[in-house]
Amino acid sequence: MSRLKVVIPKGSIYEGVVRLFQDAGIYIEHNDRSYRPKVSIPELEIKIMRPQNIPRIIELGSHDVGFTGYDWVVETDADVVEVLDLGLNPVRIVAAIPDTLTEKDLHKKQIVVASEYERISRKFLEKNGYDYIFLQTYGATEVFPPDDADMIIDNTTTGRTLREHNLQIIDTILESSTRFIAHKPALDDTEKREKIFELKMLFQAVLEARERVMLEMNVPPEKFERIVKILPCMRSPTIAPLYGDQGYAIKIAVKKKDIPSLIPKLKKFGAVDILEYELRKVVS
């Protein structure tokens, strides 16, 4: 099989992507001086680059697949295939202005808008009828207002940094997360397509496992029917009789968010010896 050329992002997205590979059973060994880390399986060749550059690199075909934020796919207008939304590093691209200004104030004059996202910014500003001068930034965009910009268009997770700089969000332009993307012709190559979708399956299994835990419990015979009816399992529970006709052992994979309400209910309804443990992968 030909080697699949993979590009992963440096910066804030890096750790999440490397951990995803690791949880999938693929180990990446990297030091700060190298942009070509070692990988535990020979089918992959990995390079590290800035997330802003990855969509166009994938489009041009120098690499087969890569990981980057959806915001940079939109910003670069790259013609790539989204294989999987990993849901990692969720952010919003927002328009924010100083607390001392209103949206009405902005439409009375020509404004300076600072952002790393030129394409996204211009599309938003023109759609909303602003008279503006665009100012390209290279990080720390939130420090530009009020002296050097009237508005910024930037990414945020919680909005806390913006509030600390006395900025108010006036619009959410785009929601973004880390995406697994591919070069279109790579998906036409039978061997590469197979490897890409093997990776997709492994990543989905890891992500699904992160959302679930395994519950095991013993249930007396007289409590069985009532308990089985309330189990929020993926399909149907795994059930085995206990030795000596003492009841049943039940095993289910459930969403982590359901655990705080489910375990007390199971206990109340008669389940005993309840065990909870983490999953590594869930392959549906």
pLDDT tens, 138-171? Answer: 988 999 999 999 999 999 999 999 999 999 999 9
Domain boundary among 152, 175, 198: 175
Kindly state whether residues 165 and 99 are assigned to the same domain.
Answer: yes
How many residues are listed for the chain in this entry?
A: 284
Integer Cα distance of 254 and 234 in angstroms: 7
Inside any domain, residue 284: no
pLDDT tens, 78-124? Answer: 999 999 999 999 999 999 999 999 989 999 999 999 999 999 999 99
Kindly state whether residues 38 and 107 are assigned to the same domain.
Answer: no
Domain boundary among 165, 185, 209: 209
Q: Give, in degrees to the nearest 5, the angle at Cα 65 between 43 and 17.
A: 85
Inside any domain, residue 283: no
pLDDT for the residue numbered 34: 79
CATH number for 242: 3.30.70.120
Helices (H), the chain: 14-23, 54-60, 70-76, 103-106, 118-127, 160-164, 190-210, 224-228, 259-268
Inside any domain, residue 260: yes
Q: Would you give per-residue pLDDT tens digits along the chain (284 residues)?
A: 578 999 999 988 999 999 999 999 999 988 777 789 899 999 999 999 999 999 999 999 999 999 999 999 999 999 999 999 999 999 999 999 999 999 899 999 999 999 999 999 999 999 999 999 999 999 889 999 999 999 999 999 999 999 999 999 999 999 999 999 999 999 999 999 999 999 999 999 999 999 999 999 999 999 998 998 888 866 678 899 998 888 999 999 999 999 999 999 999 999 999 999 999 988 87
* Domain carrying residue 257: 212-278
User: Domains in the chain: how many in total?
Assistant: 3
Kindly state whether residues 57 and 195 are assigned to the same domain.
Answer: yes
Place of tokens 């200004």: 101
Residue 131 has a CB neighbour count (10 Å cut-off) of: 11
Kindly state whether residues 76 and 185 are assigned to the same domain.
Answer: yes
